[in-house]
């Protein structure tokens, strides 16, 4: 494993190795052990979109591993003035030991990996969000003991989160069901792959998707970059909300996850979010442990 550009690049073994290492790093931290696996190493963090969790968890993660991180906003670097990603990759490779990038187009992340000579980590694109799904799978293993044969139901926009949950869920041995409006389905190739490689359903019917689910998952109706469509999306997605009724379709002991930030009253009700706050905020914490596993694997 040289980069983490998207989950479909990982073998099943590589995925589970990351999850085991994440568990180990989490228990080491809880036991007060401070292991400097990345002593003296530096991660560059390029952001062309906003972030709370990704930025803070990567920066703290590098610090806890004995290294450091540099926040590179596209606004204040030459990237914002048009310096090509191909040149940026070759320059930054000479200073840094790894780069985490959050941006719009997946092809920018792929170009960084092609032209650079250091590990590249995708911190979210319009296409996928692999780091988030590693933390999600880690959380599912903690609450359900295993991912094998568990049913994951995602309700809402067929966006970056949906694409990564499909791939991560299927690779981890889960049954994956997606409920979304017909004009907002996930990536077609990703769904074709899922149908060939596991138990997968994509439907407009929430009840069918949520039936007997072990995990219910949702994300915002309008992602970063879709602000101008937000109003229209609110009416299109109105019925795709995780509320008490939807949770009643799932198993009695189902957990509810959300990558956050959440919009109460839109994709999830305040009641459901608060009822499942334990797992949702554990999931947010697990970003730190899962990403430390990625950093150690790629940069250690
Ligand atoms: N879930 C997630 O990636 O959060 P941020 O946008 O705050 O990084
Ligand atoms: N789909 C959301 C995820 C945020 C973590 C977005 O891209 O804005």
CATH topology of domain 130-284: Rossmann fold (3.40.50)
Q: Is the pLDDT of residue 159 over 90?
A: yes
Q: How far apart (Å, rounded) are the C-alpha atoms in residues 84 and 80?
A: 10
Q: What is the DSSP letter of 251?
A: -
End-to-end CA distance of the chain: 12
Q: Whose CA is nearest to atom 3 of ligand 2?
A: 223
The band of 148, judged by pLDDT with boundaries at 50, 70 and 90, is: very high
Beta-sheet pairing, 200-203 with 175-179:
parallel
The band of 128, judged by pLDDT with boundaries at 50, 70 and 90, is: very high
Q: Is the pLDDT of residue 262 over 90?
A: yes
Closest CA relative to residue 38, chosen from 60, 1, 68:
68
Max Cα separation, the chain?
Answer: 54
What confidence score (pLDDT) does residue 75 get? 87
Ligand nearest to the CA of 219: 2
User: How buried is residue 128: exposed, middle or buried, by Cβ count under 10 Å (0-12/13-18/19+)?
Assistant: buried
Which atom in ligand 1 lies closest to the alpha carbon of residue 55? Answer: 8
- 29, 57 in Cβ contact below 8 A? no
User: Which residues are catalytic, by number?
Assistant: 102, 129, 132, 219, 259, 287
For 54-92, how does the pLDDT look when each residue is reduced to its tens digit (9 = 90+)?
A: 999 999 999 999 999 999 998 899 999 999 999 999 999
CATH number, domain 7-129+287-299, options 1.20.1540.10, 1.10.3720.10, 3.30.1180.20, 3.40.50.1370: 3.40.50.1370
Ligand nearest to the CA of 135: 1
87 is written with which tokens? 């040149």
Order of strands, edge to edge, in the sheet holding 151-155? 200-203, 175-179, 151-155, 215-218, 255-258
CA of 131 to the centre of ligand 1 (A): 10
What confidence score (pLDDT) does residue 106 get? 98
Spans of all domains in the chain: 7-129+287-299, 130-284
Best probe residue, ligand 1, of 260, 282, 290 (max atoms within 8 Å of C-beta):
260
Report, as an integer, the average pLDDT of 32-40: 97
Topology alike, domains 7-129+287-299 and 130-284: yes
- Which pTM was predicted? 0.98
Residues near 229 by beta carbon (within 8 Å), at least 6 away in sequence: 222
């Amino acid at each position: 494993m040289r980069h983490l550009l998207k989950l479909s690049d990982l073998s099943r073994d590589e995925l589970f190795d990351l999850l085991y290492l994440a568990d180990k790093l989490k228990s080491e931290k809880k036991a007060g052990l401070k292991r400097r696996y990345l002593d003296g190493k530096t991660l560059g963090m390029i952001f062309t979109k906003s972030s709370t969790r990704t930025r803070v968890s990567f920066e703290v993660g590098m610090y806890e591993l004995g290294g450091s991180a540099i926040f590179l906003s596209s606004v204040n670097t030459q990237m914002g003035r048009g310096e090509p990603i191909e040149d940026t990759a070759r320059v930054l490779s000479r200073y840094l030991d790894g780069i985490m990038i959050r941006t719009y187009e997946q092809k920018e992340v792929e170009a960084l990996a092609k032209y650079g000579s250091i590990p590249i980590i995708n911190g979210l694109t319009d296409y996928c969000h692999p780091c988030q799904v590693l933390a999600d799978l880690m959380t599912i293993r903690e609450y359900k003991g295993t991912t094998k044969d568990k049913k994951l139901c995602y309700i809402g926009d067929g966006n970056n989160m949906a694409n990564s949950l499909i791939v991560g869920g299927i690779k981890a041995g889960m049954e994956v069901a997606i409920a979304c409006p017909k004009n907002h389905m996930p990536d077609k190739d990703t769904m074709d792959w899922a149908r060939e490689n596991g138990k997968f359903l994509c439907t407009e019917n929430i009840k069918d998707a949520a039936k007997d689910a072990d995990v219910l998952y949702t994300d915002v109706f309008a992602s970063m970059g879709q602000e101008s469509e937000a109003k229209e999306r609110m009416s299109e997605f109105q019925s795709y909300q995780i509320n008490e009724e939807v949770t009643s379709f799932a198993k009695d002991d189902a957990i509810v996850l959300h990558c956050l930030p959440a919009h109460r009253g839109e994709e999830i009700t305040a009641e459901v979010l608060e009822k499942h706050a334990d797992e949702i905020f554990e999931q947010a914490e697990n970003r730190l442990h899962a990403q430390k596993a990625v950093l150690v694997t790629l940069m250690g």
